[in-house]
Structure 1
Amino acid sequence: MATVLKVLGYRVVIYSNDHRPCHVHVMSAEHEAIFELNCPEGPPSLRESYGFRKATLNLIASHLQDNLADLCKRWREIHGDY
């Protein structure tokens, strides 16, 4: 598991043994959300959420979009194709 970004104090993680489609896990000790990145152009879309408020999810999605090129690049480095 590689932490590829920090957003609002949450870790954005790509698991090395994970599956397609291209996605990230956003997590803390109490919360987790999974966003599909929809590489290469986005926008990221929420797939699952456990414990996050909607307003926080919207802010996270905005940060993921701002960093989409780097996140897609990291996914390709770890997994190859999207």
Structure 2
Amino acid sequence: MPTVLSISGLRVVIYPNDHRPAHVHVMGKGCEAVFNLHCPKGPPELRENYGFSAKDLGKIVDALIAHLAALCRDWRGIHGNY
């Protein structure tokens, strides 16, 4: 599972054998969240949350927005079309 981005010690992962739509898994601190990216223009949208606080989720979304183009490019490189 390739880590495509790190956010303050959290790993942003795209699984090679995963499914559409384009999304990332964010893991760390014993928590995990899944965000649909809505490539290519966003915005990322929380799909599942297992333990992150609202404050953490806000910081994660801000970082995903800042790196959206690269994340969509990474998804496409691994899976093809969004």
- Measured after TM superposition, the shift of residue 28 of structure 1 is 1.5
What stretches of structure 1 move > 3 A for 4+ residues in a row?
none
Name 1:9's counterpart in structure 2: 9
Paired residue type of 1:8: S
Paired residues of 1:8 and 1:60 also in contact (CA < 8 A): no
**Correspondence for 2:39:** 39
Identity %: 59
- CA distance in 2: counterparts of 1:15 and 1:52, whole angstroms: 20
The TM-score normalised by the length of structure 1 is: 0.97
Q: CA RMSD in A?
A: 0.7
Structure 1 gap ranges (5+): none
Show structure 2 runs of 5+ residues with no match.
Answer: none
TM-score by length of 2: 0.97
